[in-house]
Amino acid sequence: MPAVLALVFAFAVSLAITLMVIRSAKTHGRFSLDHDLSGPQKFHARAVPRVGGLGIVAGLVCAIPALWALQPAAGQIAVVLLLCGLPAFAAGLVEDFTKRVRPRYRLLATALSAALMVWFLDAAITRTDIPGLDWVVGFGAGATLLTVFAVAGIANSVNIIDGFNGLASMCTVIMLAALAYVAFQVGDPVIGALALAGIGAVLGFFIWNFPAGLIFLGDGGAYFLGFLVAELSILLLVRNPAVSPLFPLLVCVYPVFETLFSIYRRQFLRAVPPSMPDGIHLHTLIYRRVMGWAVGDKGAKALTRRNSMTSPYLWLLCMFSVIPATLFWDNSLLMAVFLAVFGFTYVGLYWRIVRFKAPRWMHRPVSRPMPLRERDNRST
């Protein structure tokens, strides 16, 4: 019951705080609104607050009493987790307000958050079931370096897929749900409750973000959610040896593979710096070449509709890896097979869409409102 209360408290507070941020946009809009409507990864029709992470963090803070009631250890871990995550969240939030924090500094701040978790909670990756890498993480320094790299990478990958209404937030909910399920399966209610609290906090934001796009996660919210998913995954592995170390990788493979494929595409195919933003991620291709066909109107309402209708396709892709990870969480061999299957599926889907050969099931017809003149003619 306290685990459910943690979810409810986090949801209610996140819902209320996010609404307050939206309603007070005129006050802080000079700093928090995203006025850039023409960037390569900008797909909104009006200026929108990009500080949705505030509500999520507030929701998690208010869930601490319920977590403490479940077990004092759960409350303690929640406090340490939030404090350690402050550098990652703060660096992203400063970027949301100033637009002047470079990606390298945000990554360094997230790496610092990961290092603090290793120091205070021993949240380090000490097994991988990958030949050679297990030898590396057998040393304290190797485990720490891999952990810092993995956490910063996952946080950055969540930020990269945060391009459409509901995309990053619902994918995070799906990943946290998998962590919660496996945690309860192995008898670890602490990690399960923390994951449920995270789900509640994200859903409180999601209601205002999807489908209308009244507020965005921003870099602060995206980096913090990536940090949260990564750290809960590591803690689950540290506390439960029965869980395959490939389980978190398969759970998070969609944003991770998106990031790795983008680096490969930019560095080797386009010969540009990997950090240079572009508009040919898988989600942007679906928006332009699938949703552009389905909802061709250029009006503000149609653009918002195209934006929100893009996300469900990527939710399905995320679940394509999360479902087998949840079913076979203790089998590293099957995890490796599903990782390979996901990689081939992603690349195949990407190249079909980029060549204007998207599968037919993706071209779902969309009903458009009938023009007023045509309605009048039919009525007569």
- Digits of tens for pLDDT over the chain (380 positions)? 678 999 999 999 999 999 999 999 888 877 778 655 555 554 545 678 999 999 999 999 999 999 999 889 999 999 999 999 999 999 999 999 998 899 999 999 999 999 999 999 999 999 999 999 999 999 999 999 999 999 999 999 999 999 899 999 999 999 999 999 999 999 999 999 999 999 999 999 999 999 888 999 999 999 999 999 999 999 999 999 999 999 999 999 999 999 999 999 888 877 788 777 777 889 888 887 776 544 455 555 667 777 788 999 999 999 999 999 999 999 999 999 999 999 999 999 999 998 877 777 676 554 444 444 444 444 44
Query: Token pair of 180, please?
Result: 């919660």
At 291 the pLDDT is: 67
Q: Which two tokens stand for residue 46?
A: 């009006």
Give pLDDT, residue 305: 76
Residue 70 confidence (pLDDT): 86
The H-or-E segment that residue 48 falls in is strand 48-49
| Alpha-carbon gap, residue 354 to 296, rounded angstroms | 18
Tokens of 323: 């479902």
Give the pLDDT confidence score for residue 307 in this predicted structure. Answer: 79
Dihedrals φ, ψ of 33, to 5°? -75, 140
H or E, element range at 34? strand 33-34
In single-letter form, the type of residue at position 189 comes to P
CA dist list (Å): 184 to 187, 190, 247: 5, 9, 15
Give the bridge partners for 34, in sequence order: 48
CB 238 within 8 A of CB 186: no
Residue 39: burial class (beta carbons within 10 Å; 0-12, 13-18, 19+): exposed
Query: Measured at the alpha carbon of residue 194, what is the angle toward residues 79 and 217, in degrees to the nearest 5?
Result: 85
Chain position carrying tokens 């192995």: 186
Distance CA 124, CA 320 (A): 27
Q: Report the pLDDT value the prediction gives residue 135, as an integer from 0 to 100.
A: 96
d(CA 177, CA 195): 7
- Contacts of the segment 73-76: beta carbons below 8 A, 24+ positions apart: 73/190, 74/189, 74/190, 74/193, 74/194
Where do we find the tokens 């029709």? 45
Q: Which residues contact 303 (CB under 8 A, 6 or more apart)?
A: 43, 44, 45
**Token pair for residue 111?**
């790496």
DSSP state for residue 19 in the 8-state scheme: H
Distance CA 219, CA 160 (A): 9
Report the alpha-carbon distance of residue 112 to residue 117 in Å, rounded. Answer: 9
Q: Give residue 356's pLDDT.
A: 73
| Confidence at residue 2, expressed as pLDDT on a 0 to 100 scale | 73
Cβ neighbours around 120 below 10 Å, total: 13
